[in-house]
């Protein structure tokens, strides 16, 4: 099961690179915020259709959940605007590696302290070395 999930997130990461490639030219043509809006509009419509057919009918109410859990709705558009602006200017590879550095760094902190209701996973030397390798990749792609 773990291998399947790892492969799934790798494929999802590939999709994000394609999305960055699509958003850059769209943002140039219609504006960065309109490009972001289009991504979320299409995504919301698709998600709504999926919910109609596949969402459990007896799940707890969306509105009864803690409001801090809705932060993803604020963070998502910020992320999309960043890749919409950055990808055409610094390239998709550098944009995605930069995003990855930020994700891994913050993920290590969230795991280490068990924040946001996640399982506690202590930062160890292997995880620090992995972060260093990703930072090295960023430096090599950026040619700094």
Distance of CA 124 to the CA centre of its chain: 24
pTM: 0.84
pLDDT tens-place string over residues 43-80: 999 999 999 999 888 888 878 888 888 888 889 899 99
Q: Looking at 33-37, 53-57, 78-82, 91-95, which range is the least confident one? A: 53-57
- Phi first, then psi, for residue 74 (nearest 5°) are -90, -40
Three-state DSSP class for residue 55: coil
144 pLDDT above the threshold of 80: no
Q: Please enumerate in sequence order all residues whose Cβ is within 8 A of that of 23, keeping only pairs 6 or more positions apart, or say none.
A: 35, 36, 39, 80, 83, 84, 87
Which two tokens mark 128? 């620090």
């Amino acid at each position: 099961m773990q291998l399947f999930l790892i492969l799934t997130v790798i494929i999802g990461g590939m999709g994000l690179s394609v999305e960055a490639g699509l958003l850059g030219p769209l943002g140039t043509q219609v504006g960065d915020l309109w490009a972001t809006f289009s991504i979320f509009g299409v995504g919301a419509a698709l998600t709504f259709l999926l919910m109609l057919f596949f969402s459990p009918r007896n799940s707890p109410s969306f509105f009864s959940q803690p409001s801090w859990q809705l932060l993803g709705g604020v963070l998502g558009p910020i992320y999309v605007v960043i890749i919409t602006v950055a990808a055409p200017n610094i390239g998709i590879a550098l944009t995605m590696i930069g995003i990855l550095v930020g994700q891994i760094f913050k993920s290590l902190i969230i795991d280490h302290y068990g924040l946001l209701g996640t399982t506690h996973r202590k930062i160890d030397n292997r995880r620090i070395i992995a972060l260093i390798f990703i930072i090295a990749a960023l430096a090599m792609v950026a040619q700094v």
